[in-house]
Amino acid sequence: MRTQQAAQVSTDPGPAADLPARLGNLLLGTDSRQRLTLTLLGLVALVSATVVMLLTYAVAIGMADLRQVALLSACVFASIIGFYAMIRSGCNRRFSDPTLAMPQAIMAQTLIACAYALTGPLHGATVIMLALVMVFGMFSLRPAAVRIVSVYTVVVMGAVIYWSTQHQPLHYQPQRELFNFGLTAIVMLAISQLSGQLMDMRTRLKTQKIALEGALAHIKEMAARDELTGLPNRRRMMTLLQEHATRHARGGPRFFVCIIDLDHFKHINDTYGHAAGDAVLRSFAAQAQVVLRTTDIIGRWGGEEFLVLLQETPPGEPMLGVARLRESLSVTPASPGLPDVRVRFSAGFARYEENEPIDQAIERADRALYAAKSAGRNCSIVL
Ligand SMILES: Nc1nc2c(ncn2[C@@H]2O[C@H](COP(=O)(O)OP(=O)(O)OP(=O)(O)O)[C@@H](O)[C@H]2O)c(=O)[nH]1
């Protein structure tokens, strides 16, 4: 049994509620899936009403029997009310296909076949309705179900046409009826075939949509990450800083901006090569992620510079994480390939001030970093 997710549409149209919205909720309910199922039933009801109108016209011009038409019309309306009651009460959810599309299609085709037999000289007009029902079916039924309904239609129409040629030969001449039957069979076959192709196309589209969503998520991820270190890149860090500033303006926690610059990094590049320099940057990033608090966010600011967004919880705490990082780097190889080299860094801290533009805090952190470099490097300064 297929599970139904109870997707709800707005249940309360509001105080200035318009009547149509309330009436819609009353007639169709508030579950969006059930509403869709009832919309399908509405289409079947529309086709049925057209057939009943044709039958009524046939009665009016004396081409059909009033009692037979009245009986058939009563059966049609009873079935539609029955389907409506099943869907509205939720009984349809017990079935493997809660849309009840297949029984509705069978019902519609049976009705049209009966109308074919009752409309005498007008019966040719009903054939098109068979195709119309199948077109609806193509969008709501699986190809296997479309095939079953098509075969059912051909069999029922075969029986009805045979019966009509036997009992009303005046209006149902065998040669013409054979042609009608052949046409019905060909249309049903073609629709079955098309339904399979439509399903293939839908499956392909679905697969492509999933692949595109995956690619988009990947692109978004790549756009926010630094390729070398895997850390958030400068753009992402700016977004995060802005978000923290906004949150702070709304009463959120205070934070610090810290810019870290590796000391004499050019020397590593010049001595061991650019690839070794890259490995050092990667090792530094990995180490920082391990040592800093989980609430602190480190990103690559550019070159051998990193920016750390530190939450001030509790006050005074932010500098401790960076001090721990300095300590840890003093006893850890700069990278697996440089076991004897140690990385040192200078750091500039700026406490984010109430309502200041984020660029201002960054600029202060930058000045603090410059002061740390001037003070001999391998130290931190707060401004
Ligand atoms: N391997 C590697 N090197 C980089 C990368 N980005 C920047 N650099 C190098 O980092 C070095 C930075 O040099 P400087 O600005 O002189 O800084 P420094 O040598 O660290 O000196 P101070 O900052 O004054 O301590 C340059 O040699 C850049 O080429 C990178 O992605 N990979």
Residue 250 sits in a domain whose CATH number is 3.30.70.270
In this prediction the pTM is 0.62
H or E stretch covering 229: none
Report whether residue 278 contacts ligand 1, using a CB cutoff of 6 Å: yes
Are residues 89 and 51 both part of a single domain?
Answer: yes
**Cβ partners under 8 Å of residue 228, min gap 6:** 278, 281, 282, 300
Q: Which domain-ending residue is among 215, 248, 266?
A: 215
Report whether residue 226 contacts ligand 1, using a CB cutoff of 6 Å: no
In DSSP notation, 292-350 reads S-TT-EEEEEETTEEEEEEE-SSTTTHHHHHHHHHHHHHTS-SBTTBTT----EEEEEE
Are residues 163 and 241 both part of a single domain?
Answer: no
- Domain-embedded: residue 306: yes
- Domain-embedded: residue 8: no
Q: Walk along the chain (383 residues) and give the pLDDT tens digit of each residue.
A: 344 444 444 445 455 558 888 888 888 888 888 888 898 899 889 888 988 998 899 899 988 899 999 999 999 899 999 999 999 999 999 998 898 999 999 999 998 999 999 988 888 888 888 998 898 888 888 899 999 999 999 999 999 999 999 999 999 999 999 999 999 999 999 999 998 898 899 999 999 999 999 999 999 989 999 999 999 999 999 999 999 999 999 988 889 999 999 999 999 999 999 999 999 999 999 999 999 998 899 999 999 999 999 988 676 667 889 999 999 999 999 999 999 999 999 999 999 998 899 999 999 999 999 999 999 999 999 98
Dihedral sign for Cα atoms in the order 269, 271, 273, 279: negative
Query: How far apart, in whole angstroms, are the C-alpha atoms of residue 305 and residue 229?
Result: 12
Distance 270 CA to ligand 1 centre (A): 10
Q: Is the ipTM value over 0.95, yes or no?
A: yes
Q: Please report how the helices 101-118 and 124-140 are oriented relative to each other, as an axis angle in degrees rounded to 10.
A: 180
Number of domains in the chain: 2
Structure tokens at 208: 């492509």
- Distance spanning both ends of the chain, measured CA to CA: 66
Are residues 211 and 246 both part of a single domain?
Answer: no
φ and ψ at 225, to 5 degrees? -115, 150
Are residues 129 and 266 both part of a single domain?
Answer: no
CB–CB of 281/228 below 8 Å? yes
Domain of 243 in residue numbering reads as 234-382
Test site for ligand 1: of 260, 264, 265, 300, most ligand atoms within 8 A of the Cβ = 265
Q: Which residues, in sequence order, are bridge partners of residue 259?
A: 307, 348
Look at ligand 1, atom 14, and give the residue with the nearest C-alpha: 266
Are residues 79 and 174 both part of a single domain?
Answer: yes
